[in-house]
A = this chain, B = another copy of it.
Amino acid sequence: MGGTDIKAALFDASGAMLGLTRVPTPHRGVHTVDAVMQEIAELTAGFAADFPLVQPLAVGLIAPGIVDDDRGIGIHAANLQWADAPFKHLAEKRLGMPASFSHDVRAAGEAEFRLGAALPYRDVAVVVIGTGIAASLFIGGRPHSAGGYAGELGHSIVDPAGELCACGSTGCLETIASAGAIVRRYERATGSKMPGAKEIIERARNGDSEAQSIWNDALDALALSIAQLAAVLAPEAIVIGGGLAQAGDALLVPLRTRVDNLLSFQRLPVVVAASIGENAGLLGAALLARAAAVAAGMRP
């Protein structure tokens, strides 16, 4: 469930994605949770009609914001009007099967950790850079969520004298280094409308000095946050996903150099791209749904 769309898919026992549907998220003020649950029930019924031979055993829901994965509660989401919404419980009651409810970025991290680029590591941060920035942390091989509050790397302050962030703080990493911030900063500096961060990185490569300055600031800020993670948590690897990761080596190569330059004796983390792609969140939700089914005594 996102601020704009609800994306849904059916996964079979082999992990194959059998259907992918997208419906607009209903925004209904205090009735948003009810309306969202109604959409989920309809999506589930749609899968049952489209794939009559697949019997779903569990449902995995994910959302942005502050999510208490352990209790399956949506505590708060900036673009979705709910507070302390017990989605795991609501889904189990409504759909009559075990359910999980987790954070979208932690679910994507789960997919990268179980099946993707984070698989070789026990101490690893999966950093998703898109409109905002958030991380999924695995420490000693276990996810760390801190009741839903961990991993908000985008709201780690890198420039206390910087730009006001939507969260209310000043100089958060995502005001400088998210794809959204890169576009916003370039548009503000030049007055020209841009489709995305990709085009600005391209302009930087082609010598546009405004684009270069904004892209360099983004790389510096990201490298600083990664170096801080390296000093405190010492992850073996940083796996970067989300829209900005599509820049590939244009992101990874200068980022690695900067991180290396900032560190001294610390463990230098491997910095690599996520490998699962844009459906990592859905796949992670499926993995977490399977865990809920196992916890309920099923053998999916």
Q: Nearest Cβ distance between residue A217 and chain B, in whole angstroms?
A: 12
Q: Are A156 and B262 in contact (CB under 8 A)?
A: no
Flag whether A168 is at the interface (Cβ < 8 A): yes
State A6–B151 Cα separation when bound (angstroms).
39
Q: Is A110 an interface residue (CB 8 A)?
A: no
Please tell me if A19 contacts chain B, counting CB pairs below 8 Å: no
B contact residues around A137 at 8 Å (CB)? 232-233
CB distance from A26 to the nearest CB of B (A): 24
| Complex copy number for this chain | 2
Q: Does A97 contact B (CB under 8 A)?
A: no
Q: Is the CB of A147 within 8 A of B267?
A: yes
Assembled-state Cα–Cα distance A144/B156 (Å): 21
Q: Is the CB of B233 within 8 A of A233?
A: yes
Q: Are A262 and B157 in contact (CB under 8 A)?
A: yes
Among B156, B165, B167, B262, point to the contact of A228 (Cβ < 8 A). Answer: B156
Could you say which residues of chain B place their CB within 8 Å of the CB of A112? none
Given contact pairs A229-B232, A232-B229, A224 touches B146 in the complex (Cβ within 8 A):
no
Q: Which residues of A from 45 to 98 have beta carbons under 8 Å from B?
A: 66, 76
Query: Taking beta carbons and an 8 Å cutoff, which residues of A are in contact with B?
Result: 66, 76, 123, 135, 137, 139-140, 142, 144, 146-147, 149-153, 155-157, 160, 165, 167-169, 220, 224, 227-229, 231-236, 262-267
The 3 closest A-B pairs by CB, nearest first: A149-B234, A146-B234, A168-B264
